[in-house]
Amino acid sequence: MVRCGDGSDAAHLAHGGFAVHVMDISSAHFTSVERYGVRTHCASATEFWLFENGSFDSVMDVLCYRGEPDPDKRAFYRSELKRVLKRGGYYLISLQSAPGAREAAAREFAGFEIVASGESEGRLHGTMAIRVLNLIMKRK
């Protein structure tokens, strides 16, 4: 997982039997997920990801990618994602919904195919209600 937030998603996946790694710039919620066997990595998502090529079957990002305003850093993020995600692997991303957001994601994530999408209500930083676009992409 890129950015673990309060850790509830990571803990839920780990409790369900998945091997989970979380990467977050803050270690604030690491203690709450480590007890579930989640491996934690304190690092920025826009710096080199300390994982081997093709390490993951899936990567999950909840409201992190679009939070980076620098297009060069987002490009680096995409290159690292492509490097660590196995071919045929899945990328699950939640973005703040806006007109054209799905099309923009399809352009930005070249080499990925959107296989499912939907919208939901969400909370930004736990307080502000937002509309969220959820995409499942498959790496080609």
How confident is the model over 55-85, as pLDDT tens digits?
999 999 988 888 888 999 999 999 999 999 9
C-alpha of 20 from chain center: 12
Which run of H or E residues covers position 7? none
Domains (range + CATH), the chain: 1-43 (no CATH), 53-139 (3.40.50.150)
pLDDT of residue 125: 64
Residue 124 to residue 79: CA distance in whole angstroms = 26
More confident residue, 65 or 123: 65
CB 83 within 8 A of CB 133: no
Beta-carbon count within 10 A of 98 CB: 12
pTM of the model: 0.87
Handedness of CA 123, 125, 69, 40 (dihedral sign): negative
pLDDT tens by residue, 13-64: 888 998 888 888 777 778 878 888 888 888 888 888 889 999 999 999 988 8
